[in-house]
Amino acid sequence: MDDGALDPKLAAREAAYAMPLEAINPANPELFRTNSFWPYFERLRKEDPVHWSVSPVEAVGGYWSVTRYNDIVAVDTDHESFSSEPAIALPDPPADFQLPMFIAMDPPRHEQQRKTIAPIVSGPNLAHLEPLIRERAGTILDELPIGEEFDWVDKVSIELTSMTLATLFDFPQADRRKLSRWSDVATAPPNSPVFEPGRGEEQRKQELFECVGYFGQLWNERVNAPPKPDLISMLAHGEATRNMDRMEYLGNLVLLIVGGNDTTRNTITGSVLALSQNPEQDRLLRADHGLIPAMVSETIRWQTPLAYMRRTATRDVELGGKLIRKGEKVAMWYVSGNRDETVIERPDDFWIERPRVRQHLSFGFGIHRCVGNRLAELQLKIIWEEILKRFPKIEVTGPPTHVYSAFVKGYERLPVVIPKRN
């Protein structure tokens, strides 16, 4: 063994603690692509839990990082001091491509638009959707190759979530992969490999205009027909949404596509990875299928599919001994708060029998708490109920490929094999 070769986790830790505190910029997507961000947040929680950074990305600039659980809850539940406008991600949107969406609005518009689509994720509608999701999950799993390596992200995670999302929109299933593509395009940094080199923002605009063009046809069909229980019809007939202009329609489409696709698909992949890395937890789950709901909640904490949400201070506010000035950006790092050792017991462990397993930040708090959280949990519960009926083991055969993003904490690829039965 080369004595100069450091274990990647140790190397990341040494780099995080060697860096001057003021130089730490957690919103660097390279830290997430290499999965080396953990020690930076550990250090910030200990030494500077409300931390000022200046990003070299001009659209981001200076921002505060809030990294402890209780401070995050304080910001998330104070929408009067910390506004969701103009955006929920750190980069300011280009002046010529503003995308209003209800998650990036304050009361009263936020509540009015949120109420319009809330019925689709109500208990009765989820009960109606469950058999369809289960049927599709079963079909996806039954078509997987046995004894051959394949990409779990592509074959399972994207398939199930894009099918479900297409159903919610009443969107043609044959085109469902457009939804996952538009999700990637909407959230990727301009220099992401999602785009052609040097064309990030230009290509984003081009593809998202294609998105709103496609959905514009669906809108025209639904607005001239009686109301139906799908998202486009709800928006077209809703009092608070039927007069949206094209960019606001696109903004809310992006919100619903990303919220309904990226987060669940990355948690489905994260669950396979977490159980592979923690075989004793996998054995527990297989011995007691009643642990599936707790495993789902623990995965949502452990994975944290959206690393942060942004707010903007509406007035001068003191937090953690720091003065946040009116107009300054604040990043609530859910991914850090979910590992806060002062609140979460054994925070770095994947522990499916965890007491208070739903005590996590991944869905947010306050008025912007994730409207589709129950649908996400339902899809995860169903896919694992169907997995455990079929497969005694899923073997992860190589390291995951992480998404190049500090916002969406996800996976591009996870190679797996389902062993042949003896």
- Give the domain CATH number at 141: 1.10.630.10
Over residues 293-304, the mean pLDDT reads 97
Rounded (10°) CA dihedral 249, 255, 257, 262 = 160
Whether 326 maps to a domain, the answer reads yes
Q: How far apart are CA 84 and CA 313, in angstroms?
A: 9
User: Which residues in 128-214 belong to E strands, given as ranges?
Assistant: 150-151
Neighbours of 26 (CB within 10 A): 23
Whether 3 maps to a domain, the answer reads no
Q: Does 314 have pLDDT greater than 50? A: yes
Q: What is the pLDDT of residue 5?
A: 56
Least confident of 26-35, 40-49, 112-121: 112-121
Q: Does 6 have pLDDT greater than 80? A: no
**Contacts for 135-144 with beta carbons within 8 Å, 24 or more apart?**
136/160, 136/163, 136/164, 137/379, 137/382, 137/383, 137/386, 138/386, 141/383, 141/386, 141/387, 141/390, 141/391, 142/390, 144/418
Calculate what percentage of the chain has a pLDDT beyond 90: 83
Round the average pLDDT of the chain to a whole number and report it: 93
pLDDT level of residue 79 (50, 70, 90 thresholds) = very high
Highest mean pLDDT among 35-44, 223-232, 362-371: 35-44
Over residues 53-80, the mean pLDDT reads 96
* Number of structural domains found in the chain: 1
- Strands of the sheet with 415-417, listed across from one edge: 150-151, 415-417, 395-396
Whether 276 maps to a domain, the answer reads yes
Q: What is the pLDDT of residue 94?
A: 86
Burial of 37 (0-12, 13-18, 19+ CB in 10 A): buried
Over residues 328-342, the mean pLDDT reads 98
Calculate what percentage of the chain has a pLDDT beyond 70: 99
Q: What is the pLDDT of residue 292?
A: 98
Whether 358 maps to a domain, the answer reads yes
Domain of residue 383: give its range.
8-417
Q: What is the pLDDT of residue 290?
A: 98
Q: Does 256 have pLDDT greater than 50? A: yes
pTM assigned to the model:
0.93
110-168 pLDDT, tens digit each: 888 888 888 888 889 899 999 999 999 999 999 999 999 999 999 999 999 999 999 99
Q: What is the pLDDT of residue 2?
A: 47
Whether 1 maps to a domain, the answer reads no
Q: Does 3 have pLDDT greater than 60? A: no
